[in-house]
């Protein structure tokens, strides 16, 4: 009888007193989930305490920005950025010197004139009254040739003519003439660049006309391929590099020979035409010797 009672008790009590395996798993999962929730909440707390309160951060940013502005104004003042136009607007030599100095700033990562965002509104207001760019830059349309950056010159300082292959057509010549005669620019820099796609296309196509309107690039570089000796075995990259430099010289010559206005100003010592080549990787502009004051023959530079 006692045994029977015990068995009966076990039947009713056992399911409650001894949890089944399934229930055990359920409860351990619940515990696990609670533990994860607790851990996540704790981590969240930690993160909250690690991050400084928002008002403090914005106050710190403001202090840093003010300090940054003060330092940049000091640098700009020390480098003579503010004030009236300097020697760059007075002579071809002065203009070239400022382009060289600006390019050095660009190469060394110390751009100054194009780092003055705080001055933009005042600059726009001043330039709305008129412009007097001290230099004309004739260069390629290539997206890597932003001349304001390359020469570290803000708005109003450079008059830019851009054509694929830096090969000015008749309207480009008109633009150059407008700048040198009406705006008083003191130097015309005709700047090619390493790995120029336009020169490369002309090089690779040879006598075969390029498709679409691209044939005009070949027409704009007459005699270029014949002007550069290409020894057998010379790598294509080296040949292209020679062509790029020759093209910059020849296009600079073309500006001088095709424009009476440019010739006249050069002869009077009021303007210089300077070929140059830009290196994409270093950012360095290699200025080639300025052209003679009298219009040279296109065949003079090989
Ligand atoms: Zn190019």
Domains in the chain with CATH codes: 90-293 (3.40.1050.10)
Taking the centre of ligand 1 as the mean of its atom positions, its distance from the CA of residue 31, in whole angstroms, is 68
Please write the tens of the pLDDT for every residue from 100-126. Answer: 999 999 999 999 889 877 788 888 999
19's tokens? 């949890």
Q: What is the mean pLDDT of residues 29-48?
A: 64
Using the predicted structure, report yes or no on whether residue 192 has a pLDDT greater than 60. yes
pLDDT of residue 3: 47
Residue 165: closest CA among 138, 205, 147: 138
Confidence of residue 43 (pLDDT cuts 50, 70, 90): low
Taking the centre of ligand 1 as the mean of its atom positions, its distance from the CA of residue 167, in whole angstroms, is 10
**Residues counted in the chain:** 302
Higher-confidence residue of 126 and 25: namely 126
User: How far is C-alpha 87 from the chain's CA centre?
Assistant: 27
- Distant-in-sequence, close-in-space partners of 226: CB < 8 Å, separation ≥ 6: none
Taking the centre of ligand 1 as the mean of its atom positions, its distance from the CA of residue 279, in whole angstroms, is 11
Higher-confidence residue of 36 and 24: namely 36
How many CA atoms lie less than 13 Å away from 87 in the CB half-sphere? 8
Taking the centre of ligand 1 as the mean of its atom positions, its distance from the CA of residue 212, in whole angstroms, is 18
Cα separation, 176 vs 159, whole angstroms: 8
Taking the centre of ligand 1 as the mean of its atom positions, its distance from the CA of residue 143, in whole angstroms, is 9
- Distant-in-sequence, close-in-space partners of 210: CB < 8 Å, separation ≥ 6: 201, 202, 217, 218
> What stretches of the chain adopt beta strand conformation (E)?
135-139, 158-162, 187-193, 272-278, 285-287
pLDDT of residue 70: 78
Considering only 61-65, 71-75, 148-152, which range has the smallest mean pLDDT? 71-75
Residue 134: closest CA among 92, 101, 72: 92
Percentage with pLDDT > 90 across the chain: 62
Distances from the Cα of 55 to the Cαs of 47, 58, 66, 117, in angstroms? 17, 5, 17, 26
Using the predicted structure, report yes or no on whether residue 6 has a pLDDT greater than 60. no
Q: Mean pLDDT in the chain?
A: 84
Cα separation, 105 vs 79, whole angstroms: 11
Taking the centre of ligand 1 as the mean of its atom positions, its distance from the CA of residue 136, in whole angstroms, is 18
pTM, two decimals, is 0.73
Taking the centre of ligand 1 as the mean of its atom positions, its distance from the CA of residue 99, in whole angstroms, is 20
- Distant-in-sequence, close-in-space partners of 254: CB < 8 Å, separation ≥ 6: 167, 168, 298
Taking the centre of ligand 1 as the mean of its atom positions, its distance from the CA of residue 71, in whole angstroms, is 37
Please write the tens of the pLDDT for every residue from 195-222. Answer: 999 999 999 999 999 999 999 999 999 9
Q: How many CB atoms lie within 10 A of CB 185?
A: 25
Taking the centre of ligand 1 as the mean of its atom positions, its distance from the CA of residue 20, in whole angstroms, is 79
Percentage with pLDDT > 70 across the chain: 75
Taking the centre of ligand 1 as the mean of its atom positions, its distance from the CA of residue 132, in whole angstroms, is 27
pLDDT of residue 52: 60
Using the predicted structure, report yes or no on whether residue 224 has a pLDDT greater than 80. yes
Cα separation, 275 vs 285, whole angstroms: 10
Cα separation, 247 vs 293, whole angstroms: 19
Please list the residues that pair with 188 across neighbouring strands.
136, 273
Residue 142: closest CA among 44, 50, 279: 279
Q: What is the mean pLDDT of residues 118-141?
A: 92
Cα separation, 47 vs 103, whole angstroms: 46
Considering only 4-13, 63-72, 82-91, 108-117, which range has the smallest mean pLDDT? 4-13
pLDDT of residue 215: 95
Phi, psi dihedrals of residue 175, rounded to the nearest 5°: -60, -45
146's tokens? 């932003």
Using the predicted structure, report yes or no on whether residue 149 has a pLDDT greater than 70. yes
């Amino acid at each position: 009888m006692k045994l029977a009672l015990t068995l009966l008790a076990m039947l009713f009590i056992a399911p409650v007193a001894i949890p089944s395996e399934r229930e055990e798993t359920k409860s351990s999962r619940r515990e696990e989930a609670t533990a994860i929730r607790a851990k996540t909440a704790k981590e969240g707390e930690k993160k909250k305490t690690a991050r400084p309160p928002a008002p403090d951060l914005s106050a710190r940013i403001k202090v840093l920005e003010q300090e940054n502005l003060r330092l940049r104004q000091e640098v700009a003042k020390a480098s003579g950025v503010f004030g009236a136009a300097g020697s760059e607007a007075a002579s071809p030599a002065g203009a070239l010197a400022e382009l060289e100095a600006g390019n050095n700033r660009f190469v060394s990562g110390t751009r100054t004139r194009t780092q003055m965002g705080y001055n933009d509104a005042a600059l726009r207001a001043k330039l709305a009254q008129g412009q007097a760019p001290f230099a004309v830059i004739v260069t390629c349309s290539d997206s890597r040739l932003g001349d304001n950056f390359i020469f570290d010159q803000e708005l109003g300082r450079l008059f830019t003519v851009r054509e694929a292959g830096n090969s000015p057509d008749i309207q480009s010549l008109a633009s150059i003439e407008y700048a040198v005669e009406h705006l008083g620019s003191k130097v015309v820099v005709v700047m090619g660049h390493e790995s120029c796609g336009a020169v490369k296309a002309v090089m690779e196509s040879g006598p075969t006309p390029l498709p679409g309107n691209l044939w005009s690039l070949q027409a704009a570089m007459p005699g270029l391929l014949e002007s550069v000796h290409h020894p057998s075995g010379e790598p294509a990259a080296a040949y292209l590099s020679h062509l790029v430099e020759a093209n910059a010289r020849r296009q600079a010559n073309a500006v001088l020979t095709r424009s009476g206005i440019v010739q006249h100003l050069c002869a009077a010592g009021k303007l210089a035409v300077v070929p140059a080549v830009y290196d994409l990787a270093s950012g360095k502009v290699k200025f080639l010797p300025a052209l003679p004051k009298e219009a040279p023959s296109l065949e003079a530079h090989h």
